[in-house]
Amino acid sequence: MLYALIMAGGTGTRLWPMSRKTMPKQCLALTGSDTLVQMAVERISGAVPPERTLVITNTVQIDVLRNQLPKLPPENIIAEPCARGSATCIGLGAIFIRKKAPDAAMIVLSADHVIAPIDRFIGCVKVAERVAVERKPLVVFGIRPAGPSPEFGYIHRGGRTSPGNAAPVYRVAEFKEKPDPATAKAFIDSGEYYWNSGMFVWTVRTILDAIGQYMPALRRALGAMSAAIGTDGQYETFAEQYEPLAGQTIDYGVMERAAAVEVVEADFDWDDVGTWPAVAKYHEADSDGNTITGEAELIGAKNCLIHAGPGHMIGAIGVEDLVIIQTPDATLVCHRSQAGKVRELGDKLKQQGKTAWL
């Protein structure tokens, strides 16, 4: 039996100013009529029904997500008391699933990915589930790189382990951190590397055993939290156990240290929509390459991404390659090539105490 855990926290800085800590990008309809988290739940519904789908977020966003995901039981949308990295989030989801089905497998997804086509995604999910249940490794989805991007972590594949599956499965030889451009090109040229999607499949027992082996402090905290699930003191216990934990990703904490790790070659298109130019890909451009949502009038403008909020008009004259995003209380203007630095702008606002705009 397969359960789904969708990680839906985040601080809403990469797509500022539309994305905020109370309304991060997964809660926005950036690529169509549905929000990214709604798309994530609908996408996995072909393999996991709503009653077996859990969403973990934070206290600030929980009401928004419960409103956006009415098909999910309200108790399946769980708030962390504070952010302590993906390892803690995944461990929390695992102990909730263990209460329901201790022998279950679980898939870990992010709420802000865009994936298509869905049938190929579901096909890979089924392959990963079969591998995770039969051999008990930790399984990660590897994305065939579209190019030598330094923006992603990489997976170096080893020998093939399951030649009979619909999607190729390999032993993971090594995880590589975000490389410089030259190293990324060498990875691509070798044909042996994937982008690390941050999507995983394993049995509940396998991941909790791995956390116990490599992250004993987290395992002890999860033990205390597991005992508190469903009690009047559940949230207080969670807060007490979370506070002293060090924030750690599942990649650093477990995946890079574990021996039995396999990668399923993903046979689908994948995008984490991490910058404003990435959002532009999902909207039709005019003859000058401009992508516009809302009201805007342009003269001699080229290759610009423009969003105007309701009741607002943006005019742009003689500019090229700009990102202009207007909201009622904040406006972003940057060169398309610098859009990856929007998170740095959020960090600067935080450092200067201007948190009202975050």
Per-residue pLDDT at 251: 95
Query: Could you tell me the domains of the chain?
Result: 2-271 (3.90.550.10), 276-357 (no CATH)
Q: How confident is the model at residue 21, as a pLDDT?
A: 87
Q: Which two tokens stand for residue 7?
A: 């990680």
d(CA 321, CA 18): 19
pLDDT (tens, 9 = 90+) of the chain, 358 residues, equals 999 999 998 777 889 999 998 888 999 999 888 999 999 999 999 999 999 999 999 999 999 999 999 999 999 999 999 999 999 999 999 999 999 999 999 999 999 999 999 999 999 999 999 999 999 999 999 999 988 888 889 999 999 997 767 789 999 999 998 888 899 899 999 999 999 999 999 999 999 999 999 999 999 999 999 999 999 999 999 999 999 999 999 999 999 999 999 999 998 999 988 899 989 999 999 999 999 999 999 999 999 999 999 999 999 999 999 999 999 999 999 999 999 899 999 999 999 999 999 9
pLDDT score recorded for residue 336: 95
In the chain, which ranges are continuous DSSP H helix?
36-44, 62-68, 85-100, 118-135, 181-190, 204-214, 216-228, 234-242, 250, 276-280, 342-351
pLDDT confidence of residue 143: 95
Q: How is the beta sheet containing 291-293 ordered, strand by strand? A: 291-293, 305-307, 322-326, 331-335
